[in-house]
């Protein structure tokens, strides 16, 4: 066991302050009596029972080992439903000790912090809301940092009525002390009917820092120089309910004054070539700043790709022709490395493979979020404009007509608005077009009539009550080979939704065309919202496509580590929030078939053509291409195409004549710029 001599020193001068900052909240009216469970009688992994500090109850307390993964697990008997679970703890250090909570192996609360109490003899309590099953429950508190957990005295389990009321949004967010790698944020407190337990500082949908409910100012020191940021703050209560986001502050960090260039990228090499493309890879550069801003790929003296990855595929080349490439690295201050070794590659004489080439521009739009082609043989598509809430009709030649707006669609000044689009498989007779959009109080799926070139002015609800937030709204919808409508729904910044079958969020849903749940859905017999669930444990999925076997594939945005490409199983659990990609407590969950760094992909729309998967990368600003293996159980090494060419790529859709339409959504982070028509729809071709 790692000794904790230093953290056991008396710090009595800080005790009063720590007690004042303790997180306590009065639980709602209980439905059963609270029960105490001593930590020393629980199952302990990587910790010991001690009694050398006064003030504990029972016969002792548990001293967690100082490492990630040490835990205490209590066996608890309770009725089914929510319970307030209160840990009595002591922390004689200044280090906040976060822990994750699980119930029967399923994530219940993530990143709950246990701050210093001033002394190892000063005991405080902190409450989390967990969902329990009837009878026996295994409740585990697991340390998530190398500091381990706090000293644990006892657990009090208080079954309670459900709290479904989220906190109010934090307000008056401001930024100050902006440096090349840090900035300080302050905000006004949120309110809650029970009590706020923590705040998350977010960039886009990703968490920069988590602080407790008593902290209304925090410095984030993991920023990058010369980088634009849009930051907001969200509040959470003990039940896991997430507030809407605060106001957004935007700023650009200054340069650091660094003039030292990165090291030269090494071992530039070709990893494949077709008649019209060359795939390249290289070894990473390093920089004294600690980060690389990107790589620029040159064909001779011409820059042909910009990427944050270590691979790219250059397209639009001539068959049976030699090309020479180099690559340079850039740091956040704009310093460029020397050119890598040059590599000369000859394209093949024939055969296009699965790598598409640019064909032509189709149209300019604002934020074309989703595309669906009409089944009339004309090559004409409908396109959703996310922030204008408009539906466009775009022909194969690029003629663009605004058909009207989807009534009730609103923005979240972030990732919400008019999102997914699907055309009924019986469109020639029923004329229904389906939309996924944000409304005043929820996200929802609706349908509208489109007949004789005219879009109706009213919508019919298909499924409502999908929780919304500034981030994590999901939004892709598509009809599968079975004629059912599938929808990707984000967790709405409440990660607990993803494992709760009573919530429609953090899921892929499956429903009949009229909005009723199919009786062969995996949790249909459970009743309620669970009837719609096809798969769960998703954070923010946005891509849906089926392969030649009828298998469903989905792409999903990660938190801060890994994005995912998943092969979806009926009733499958993909692990969020306990597991992100392959990182975390991933045992028992379905592993992704491919992961990327969140800086390289940001996968939104996906498409499958002849068992090649095409993935539109928002964050990585490139199209990823990979082939499903012959067994249909996995994919090959993805190749990045069009790196940096059109910016943030949102959707990719196969055309009736055998090509692909690709859309971009730049300037989309804070509700976009609906007055500007500056994003593209382009056509890609094969062969």
Place of tokens 């500090």: 53
Contact, 308 vs 600, CB < 8 A? yes
Q: Please tell me whether residue 154 adopts helix, strand or coil conformation.
A: strand
538 flagged as catalytic: no
What 512-518 contacts at long range (C-beta under 8 Å, 24+ apart), as own/partner pairs, is 512/484, 512/485, 513/424, 513/425, 513/426, 513/432, 513/479, 513/483, 513/484, 513/485, 514/462, 515/445, 515/461, 515/462, 515/463, 518/484
Contact, 605 vs 476, CB < 8 A? yes
Find all residues with CB under 8 Å of 206, minimum gap 6, and list them. 559, 560, 598
The DSSP line for 215-267 is --EEEE----TT-EEEEEEEEEETT-PBPPP---EEEEPPP----PPPPPPEE
Longest dimension (CA), the chain: 81
User: Could you write out the three-class secondary structure of 285-332?
Assistant: CCCCCCCCCEEEEEECCEEEEEECCCEEEECCCCCCCEEEEEEEEECC
Of all helices (H) and strands (E), which one includes residue 18? helix 15-20
Distance CA 348, CA 274 (A): 5
Of 53, 431, 437, 472, catalytic: 472
Helices (H), 465-575: none
CA contacts within 13 A on the Cβ side of 80 = 3
Catalytic residues, by residue number, are: 472
């Amino acid at each position: 066991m790692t000794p904790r001599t230093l953290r056991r020193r008396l710090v009595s001068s800080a005790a009063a302050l720590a007690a004042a900052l303790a997180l306590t909240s009065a639980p709602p009216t209980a439905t059963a009596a609270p029960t105490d469970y001593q930590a020393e009688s629980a199952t302990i992994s990587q910790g010991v029972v001690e009694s050398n500090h006064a003030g504990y109850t029972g016969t002792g307390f548990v001293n967690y080992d100082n490492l990630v993964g040490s835990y205490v697990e209590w066996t608890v008997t309770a009725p089914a439903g929510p319970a307030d679970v209160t840990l009595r703890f002591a922390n004689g250090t200044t280090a906040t000790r976060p822990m994750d909570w699980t119930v029967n192996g399923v994530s219940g609360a993530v990143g709950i912090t246990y701050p210093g109490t001033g002394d190892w003899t000063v005991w405080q309590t902190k409450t989390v809301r967990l969902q329990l099953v009837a009878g026996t429950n295994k409740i585990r508190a697991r340390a998530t940092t190398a500091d381990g957990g706090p000293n644990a005295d006892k657990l009090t389990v208080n079954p309670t009525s459900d709290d479904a009321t989220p906190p109010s949004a934090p307000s008056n967010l401001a930024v100050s002390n902006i440096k090349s790698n840090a900035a300080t944020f302050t905000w006004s407190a949120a309110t809650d009917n029970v009590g706020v337990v923590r705040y998350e500082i977010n960039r886009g949908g990703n968490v920069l820092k988590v602080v407790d409910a008593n902290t209304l100012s925090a410095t984030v020191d993991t920023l990058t120089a010369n980088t634009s940021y849009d930051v907001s703050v969200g509040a959470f209560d003990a039940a896991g309910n997430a507030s809407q986001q605060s106001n957004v502050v935007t700023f650009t960090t200054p340069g650091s004054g660094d003039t030292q260039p990165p090291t030269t990228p090494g071992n530039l090499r070709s990893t494949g070539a077709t008649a019209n493309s060359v795939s390249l890879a290289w070894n990473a550069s390093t920089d004294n700043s600690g980060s690389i801003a990107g790589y620029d790929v040159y064909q001779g003296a011409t820059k042909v790709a910009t990427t944050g990855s270590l691979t790219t595929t250059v397209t639009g080349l001539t068959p049976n022709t030699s090309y020479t490439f180099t690559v340079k690295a850039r740091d956040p201050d704009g310093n460029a490395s020397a050119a890598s070794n040059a590599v000369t590659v000859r394209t093949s004489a024939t055969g296009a493979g699965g790598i598409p080439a640019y064909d032509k521009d189709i149209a300019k739009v604002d934020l074309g979020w989703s595309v669906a082609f009409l089944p009339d043989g004309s090559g004409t598509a409908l396109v959703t404009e996310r922030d204008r809430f408009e539906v466009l009709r775009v022909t194969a030649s690029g003629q663009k007509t605004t058909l009207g707006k989807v009534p009730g669609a609103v923005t979240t000044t972030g990732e919400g608005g008019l999102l997914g689009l699907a055309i009924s498989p019986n469109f020639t007779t029923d004329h229904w077009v389906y939309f996924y959009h944000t409304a005043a109080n929820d996200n929802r799926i609706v349908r509208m009539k489109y007949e004789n070139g005219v879009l109706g002015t009213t919508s019919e609800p298909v499924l409502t009550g999908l929780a919304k937030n500034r981030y994590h709204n999901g939004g892709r919808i598509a009809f599968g080979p079975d004629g059912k409508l599938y929808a990707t729904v984000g967790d709405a910044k409440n990660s607990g939704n993803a494992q709760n079958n009573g919530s429609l969020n953090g899921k892929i849903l499956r429903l009949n065309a009229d909005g009723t749940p199919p009786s062969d859905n995996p949790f249909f017999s459970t009743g309620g919202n669970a009837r719609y669930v096809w798969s769960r444990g998703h954070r923010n999925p946005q891509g849906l496509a089926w392969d030649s076997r009828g298998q469903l594939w989905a792409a999903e945005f990660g938190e801060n580590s890994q994005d995912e490409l998943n092969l979806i199983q009926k009733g499958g659990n993909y692990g969020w929030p306990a597991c992100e990609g392959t990182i975390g407590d991933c045992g028992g969950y379905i592993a992704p078939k491919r992961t990327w760094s969140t800086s390289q992909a940001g996968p939104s729309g996906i498409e499958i053509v002849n068992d090649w998967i095409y993935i539109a990368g928002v964050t990585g600003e490139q199209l990823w291409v990979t082939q499903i293996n012959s067994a249909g159980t996995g994919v090959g090494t993805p190749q990045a195409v069009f790196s940096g060419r059109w910016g943030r790529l949102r959707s990719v859709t196969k055309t009736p004549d055998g090509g692909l339409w690709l859309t971009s959504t730049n300037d989309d982070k804070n509700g976009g710029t609906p007055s500007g028509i500056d994003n593209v729809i382009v056509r890609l071709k094969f062969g």
